[in-house]
Structure 1
Amino acid sequence: AFFIMCTKTPEFGEDGTLIFADSGLNIDPTAEEMAEIAISSAASFKNLVGGEPRVAMLSYSTKGSAGGDSAAKSKQAAELAKQRDPEMAVDGELQLDAAIVPEVAASKAPGSDVAGKANILMFPDLAAGNIGYKLVQRFGGAEAYGPLLQGIAKPVNDLSRGCSADDIVGVVAITAAQCQIAE
């Protein structure tokens, strides 16, 4: 599951729009599952947002700056996604600032085709993803649409218990668009 995040910061993502995955379904995905979620999220990004997807596998570490199982999982997920879809722009492990801020990316991840310009943020687990989307929504004033489900035959989406009427209208519109794309 992912959220489409429409932020008030056009310098990030695709004119302020990003996908946050998985922020609504998989509690602790494996590296293999993260790779598949990234590939599905890239396709969803192309279909729903437009533009070229650039996936950052997020971590508390950038390019080996810290150790640990979670950082290793994000790095492995990026490698697996690249093997499965060599055309996809994916990199990791990346800290959030290295993923979206060009100046930080130049310092922490020089030469990356994703760092500093990611528009899909892949979180290492549901806790991080769910907390992340709610922080951006509540503190940053972003519009959050989802969770939008992927990998099933027909469009199926959900809503947070804290959603507004505008959120419902937005998710219904996205679901209708998904149905048209699927035809």
Structure 2
Amino acid sequence: MALMEEIKAKARANIKTIVLPEGEEIRTIKAAEIIVKEGLANLIMLGDEEKIMSIAKENGVSLEGVKIINPKKSEKLEFYANQLYEIRKNKGMTPEKALETVKDEMYFGTMMVKMKDADGMVSGAIHSTGDLLRPAMQIIKTAPGVSIASSFFIMEVPNPNFGDNGLFIFADCAVNPNPTAEELASIAVASAMNAKNLCGMEPRVAMLSFSTKGSAKHELVDKVIEATRIAKEMAPDLMIDGELQLDAAIVPKVAELKAPGSQVAGKANVLIFPDLQSGNIGYKLVQRLANAEAIGPICQGFAAPVNDLSRGCSVEDIVNVVAITAVQAQ
């Protein structure tokens, strides 16, 4: 994927520090060697150093240049625990519970990002999405002015006539089951910004529905119409249109019939799905039936970048997501 080479070049141009909480996981260990050799990021791996080095040796992997920290033995353990207590004391956190909590690699890594000892975090090879998002939402929280954290996929389809020479952003396909109109608008604006800053695309955002410009009447359509209005108010300089059916959003001939005069219809490259069911189904359909490459889910909206992996991820997937996280941290 040509885009990944561009993203890697951006990562090399301004090196950031990324923490990998799953330091004892073999794919993560193999990816770490590649990341350092390619100069994509400075790496911190969490876990038992002796165990990590033993796995690396058994598999012929060099971790030269990688910093390894055991949270349970870290000199910053008490400091992070105190900070976590201050952040969460109004939610029932006690000093004792905070100390036990930060011994967990996921929470320790999140505290590293919060305290700016790392610029971003990547996890998910052996942890669930919830394991990543829970501490991120509790500790890092959303960026100023952002109402909701969400996710997107970078999708590249073989047919260059669609999207941006075959490139799309799909959102939200992994995090929010049923966003409100306000939340959907926030997801749309955040996705457009990532399309521009991460992928170098001029975003053309389609707010998807089963209706195009009033062709159907339903409260689900009303939500998308309202989300479109709010998104346009939030970012008046962006090209955003809705409500649009998928064919009206990406097929020029259909757009001419259903949404004439639209800046977006027929040439959308950022597709905003109305809920998680449609988004998750949509990206998997395109991935499987169109033989598209799907990178993600990539998180957005947090005050600092944290990203999730599929538990079926490959070594290459980990390398790619670390590079993306490094660029987001810039």
Smaller-chain TM-score range?
A: over 0.9
Give the Cα–Cα distance (whole angstroms) in 2 for the partners of residues 162 and 66 of structure 1. Answer: 39
The farther-off stretch of 100-109 and 162-171 is 162-171
* Alignment partners' CA distance in 1, 2:312 and 2:157: 18
Query: What is the CA-CA distance between 1:165 and the residue it aligns to?
Result: 3.7
Conservation of the 8 A alpha-carbon contact between 1:3 and 1:147: yes
Corresponding residue number in structure 2 for 1:97: 247
Is 1:152 the counterpart of 2:302? The answer is yes
Deviation by residue 1:116-146 (Cα, 9 ceiling, x = unmatched): 0111000000000001011111111111111
Superposition pairs of residues 26-175 of structure 1, within 5 angstroms: 26-175=176-325
Secondary structure of the corresponding residue to residue 80 of structure 1: helix
Letter matched to residue 242 of structure 2: G
Aligned residue among 8, 13, 23 for 2:158: 8
- Alpha carbons of structure 1 residues 138 and 105: separation in structure 2 relative to 1, 3 Å: same
Alignment match, 1:19: 169
> Which segments of structure 1 move beyond 6 Å, counting only runs of 4 or more?
none
Structure whose CA Rg is larger: 2
Partners of 2:276 and 2:160 lie apart in 1 by 26
Distance 1:64 1:34 in 2: 19
- The amino acid that maps onto 1:111 is G
Partner of 2:328: 178
Kindly tell me the number of residue pairs found equivalent between the two proteins.
180
Identical columns (%): 63
Tell me the CA shift for residue 60 of structure 1: 0.6
Amino acid corresponding to residue 212 of structure 2 in structure 1: T
Task: Check whether the contact 1:144–1:167 (CA below 8 A) recurs between aligned residues.
Answer: no
Gaps spanning 5+ residues in structure 1: where? none
For 1:101, the aligned partner's letter is: V
State the 1:162 CA deviation: 4.1
**SS in structure 1 at match of 2:308:** coil
For 1:178 and 1:65, locate their aligned partners in 2 and report how far apart those are by CA, in whole Å: 39
SS in 2 for 1:42: helix
Alpha-carbon RMSD across the aligned residues, in angstroms, is 1.2
Alignment partners' CA distance in 1, 2:236 and 2:328? 25
Point out the more displaced range, 85-94 or 166-175: 166-175
Q: Amino acid of the residue matched to residue 166 of structure 1?
A: E
Q: Distance in 2 between matches of 1:62 and 1:153?
A: 35
Q: Secondary structure at the match of 1:56?
A: strand
Residue 23 of structure 1 deviates from its aligned partner by 0.6
CA contact (8 A) 1:42 1:53 kept: yes
1:110 and 1:98 map into 2 onto residues whose CA distance is: 10
DSSP-derived class of the 1:157 partner: strand
TM-score by length of 2: 0.53
SS in 2 for 1:61: coil
- In the alignment, residue 303 of structure 2 is paired with which amino acid? A
How far the C-alpha of 1:155 sits from its partner, in A, is: 1.2
The answer for the alignment partner of 2:114 in structure 1 is none
Structure 1 residues 163 and 68: alpha-carbon distance in aligned structure 2, compared to 1, 3 A threshold: farther
In structure 2, the gaps of 5 or more residues are 1-150
**SS of structure 2 residue aligned to 1:149:** strand
